[in-house]
A = this chain, B = another copy of it.
Amino acid sequence: MKDVAARAGVGLKTVSRVVNGEPGVTPDTERRVQEAIDALGFRRNDSARVLRKGRTSSIGLVLEDLADPFYGPLSRAVEEVSRAHGSLLINGSSAEDPDREQELALALCARRVDGLVIIPAGDDHRYLEPEIRAGVATVFVDRPAGRIDADVVLSDSFGGARDGVAHLIAHGHRRIGFIGDMPRIHTAAERLRGYRAAMEDAGIPVEETWMSLGVTDPERVRRAAEEMLSGPAPVTAVFAGNNRVTVTVVRVIAEHARRVALVGFDDFELADLLQPGITVISQDPAGMGRTAAERLFQQLDGSLVVPERIELPTRLIARGSGELPPAD
């Protein structure tokens, strides 16, 4: 910038004005500065700008896995809102590891992102308190924050699971299995609670062997499903706690001779093309991302004061697999 000023024969401030399109420069001066910029291949260094201005015009997104299709529409929605506000998106995956979540979130804060959208892996977010106090806007999505008071945007996991299980009960099932994620994950716990509520509402006592919680990798889910589907009194229907579980259960059922009903939490592409189509409880990941990002920028505007908990409704989409009658 100094070189540009020297070459154009003007002061530093004038170059700054031209670069930022500020008014108050004669067309002639502007032309001279522009020529110097082009000749020298000058590119403004935003780091210096940030240092002076305070705002970085960037926000951070911490999610669980960049490659999980559930987070695709969510990330895109956050990106779109961010773009509309002139901000860039920095993101990374926690891989469901609380330490890695913290490391990432703090690294983003050290870069002075203006705000943070977090899909939390851990359940203690007090490490963010100094950052929030220092003015970093923060919104949690999909799961609530732990031990701090913060904005959070959730799906109605409890209600969705209850509706899905009630749907199976309405179609005649009584022995219904539940396969979900690790119980320390809020959504997994809520969906299990929904399952229990629906069973209790129908007066069906739940057997321990009908419930399986744990990591949702294919091997474990497959084992869990096969156990529930064997023995003297196998389940006649399964409620799958998320999209990854559903896909694995579909595979297991396809290999089975007996018909098994299935309702899965989360919609997924091609669910309607399988035979039968898969009945799901669908969430609105794009809506969650949009809502979260909008709240983030409202916090940044200063128009938001009290942290809120926003819960988006779920919707049951019947496609066949959830309407199968019990095999026996």
- Chain A positions within 8 Å of B, measured between CB atoms, are 41, 43-48, 50-51, 56, 58, 65-69, 72-73, 75-76, 79, 83, 88-93, 107-112, 130-131, 133-134, 247, 250-251, 254, 268-270, 273-275
What are 10 A-B interface contacts by the 8 Å CB criterion? Answer: A41-B133, A41-B134, A45-B110, A48-B51, A67-B76, A68-B72, A89-B92, A254-B273, A274-B274, A275-B275
Instruction: State the CA gap A231–B53 with chains docked (Å).
Output: 65
Asked whether A43 lies within 8 Å of B90 as measured between CB atoms, the reply is no
Contact B79 A88 (CB under 8 A): no
Report copies per complex.
2
The 7 A-B residue pairs whose C-beta atoms are closest, nearest first, are A67-B72, A67-B76, A66-B76, A47-B50, A46-B110, A66-B75, A41-B130
Complex Cα distance, B275 from A254, in Å, reads 11
- Cβ contact within 8 Å between B47 and A56: yes
Taking CB atoms, residues of chain B closer than 8 Å to A274 are 270, 273-274
Q: How far is the CB of A252 from chain B (nearest CB, A)?
A: 11
Bound complex: CA A110 to CA B251 (Å):
48
**Assembled-state Cα–Cα distance A184/B131 (Å):** 47
Least distance between A282 CB and chain B CB atoms (Å): 16
Chain B nearest CB: distance from A147 CB in Å? Answer: 18
Given contacts A72-B68, A134-B41, contact A58 B247 (CB under 8 A): no
Q: State how many angstroms separate the Cβ of A265 from the closest Cβ of chain B.
A: 17
B72 & A69 in contact (Cβ 8 Å cutoff): yes
A243 to chain B, nearest CB (A): 10
What is the minimal beta-carbon distance from A59 to any residue of chain B, in angstroms?
11
In Å, the complex CA distance between A48 and B33 comes to: 27
A269 vs B92: C-alpha distance when bound (angstroms): 23
Complex formed: what's the CA distance from A142 to B69 in Å? 20
Minimum CB–CB distance for A170 against chain B, Å? 27
Q: In the complex, A13→B122 CA distance in Å? A: 35
Q: What 5 new A-B contacts, CB under 8 Å, besides A58-B111, A65-B76, A275-B275?
A: A41-B130, A46-B111, A68-B72, A88-B92, A88-B111
